[in-house]
Amino acid sequence: PKMADTMSRRSVFRENSDKINCFDFSPNGETVISSSDDDSIVLYDCQEGKPKRTLYSKKYGVDLIRYTHAANTVVYSSNKIDDTIRYLSLHDNKYIRYFPGHSKRVVALSMSPVDDTFISGSLDKTIRLWDLRSPNCQGLMHLQGKPVCSFDPEGLIFAAGVNSEMVKLYDLRSFDKGPFATFKMQYDLTCEWTGLKFSNDGKLILISTNGSFIRLIDAFKGVVMHTFGGYANSKAVTLEASFTPDSQFIMIGSEDGKIHVWNGESGIKVAVLDGKHTGPITCYPHTVLFFLQTLDHCGAKWSENVGGKQNYLTFIEYFCPYIKTLG
């Protein structure tokens, strides 16, 4: 059966009064945590398919929430008062540590897949390297423009996208020596880069933009493998493209509630799924789960059915934020 024929919506959640700006899966895949512009942090149980707890960060706001390697702690950026990153215990709702240093809004946050290291990128044109065990910055990179950044799957290198026109690769063990590779891309005046992601096999890097195209590049050579377009994004919404867990397909939402899917190897569009929502959708896959954001302040759960039975290896879920600023 075609991918579009095997999707079915299973449940809807309405927990937020404002935009869900980010969410992340716990290391064991059992829970998802979301951050919202309504200053809330909502914890969802993936197995039961329902919200289980809500916390608040009223004073500082919350954005770019990320699980650490412990299922009961997270780090997140602030979107009010200051630009400090905060390390929170979900168990007792208390801060474990603060990470001050950035002088402008943090726009990228990536946790190492192997240890307690994480990196942050800011509009102050820096990327900072941190260790959860210390409030002090472990490394500082000054760049020439707005950065986006992400670790590779092995946690040995990280990629920095700078000024929407070049990708720099750094070895974590010798980042102070500068990038070991720099790939210059064709600059596009119509949009800016909003995210970088490595495929799970580490061979590809996916560049998301706030325009109507995304790029797939070879992580070793910097060669553009494919440019994917043909989806709606006239309002420059940050639509986050994602790999499926097997790195075979690339997915992105669009402002009209559709989900576009391409084969990463051939570059051919293989499906356009109907999200059954009128607003923009942003995609977030993880292991055997898949999340989508849309304009509504709700969430829905999808599963793929094969031969009438649920196939939980291709289990799909999505959450939908209400975005007041979008018409």
14-31 pLDDT tens trace: 666 567 788 888 888 788
> What's the chain's average pLDDT?
81
The pLDDT tens digits for 234-280 are: 888 888 888 887 888 898 888 887 888 899 999 999 988 876 666 67
Q: Is the distance from CB of 322 to CB of 17 less than 8 angstroms?
A: yes
The CATH H-level superfamily of 10-249 is YVTN repeat-like/Quinoprotein amine dehydrogenase (2.130.10.10)
Question: What is the reported pLDDT for 316?
Answer: 40
Q: Which of 8-17, 220-229, 301-310 has the lowest mean pLDDT?
A: 301-310
Q: Kindly report the three-state secondary structure assignment for every residue of the chain.
A: CCHHHCEEEEEEECCCCCCEEEEEECCCCCEEEEEECCCEEEEEECCCCEEEEEEECCCCCCEEEEECCCCCEEEEECCCCCCCEEEEECCCCEEEEEECCCCCCEEEEEECCCCCEEEEEECCCEEEEEECCEEEEEEEEECCCCEEEEECCCCCEEEEEECCCEEEEEEHHHHHHCCCEEEECCCCCCCCEEEEEECCCCCEEEEEECCCEEEEEECCCCCEEEEEECCCCCCCCCCCCEECCCCCEEEEECCCCEEEEEECCCCCEEEEEECCCCCCCEEEEECCEEEEECCCCEEEEEEEEECCEECHHHCEEEEECCCCCCC
Residue 278's pLDDT is 64
Query: pLDDT at residue 310 above 70?
Result: no
pLDDT at 323: 23
pTM: predicted TM-score of the whole model, two decimal places: 0.82
Q: Residue 288: pLDDT above 70?
A: no
Give yes or no for a contact between 66 and 76, defined as CB atoms under 8 angstroms apart: yes
Q: Which class for 24: exposed (0-12), middle (13-18), buried (19 or more C-beta within 10 A)?
A: buried
228 closest CA partner among 212, 204, 239, 240: 212
pLDDT single digits (tens) 298-308: 443 333 332 32
**What would the pLDDT profile of 99-124 be if each residue is shown by its tens digit?**
999 999 999 999 999 999 999 999 99
Q: Is the dihedral of CA 18, 21, 26, 29 positive or negative?
A: positive
Q: What is the pLDDT of residues 70-108, one digit of tens each?
A: 879 999 999 888 999 999 999 999 999 999 999 999 999
Both tokens assigned to 123? 């509009």
Spatial separation of the C-alpha atoms in residues 87 and 73, rounded to whole Å? 7
Task: Work out the average pLDDT over 186-210.
Answer: 91
Give residue 239's pLDDT. 82
Which sequence spans correspond to the domains of the chain? 10-249
pLDDT single digits (tens) 20-71 = 788 888 888 788 888 888 888 998 887 777 888 999 988 999 999 999 998 7
Measure the CA angle with vertex 67, ends 73 and 102; round to 5°. 95
Identify the residue whose tokens are 């190492």. 112
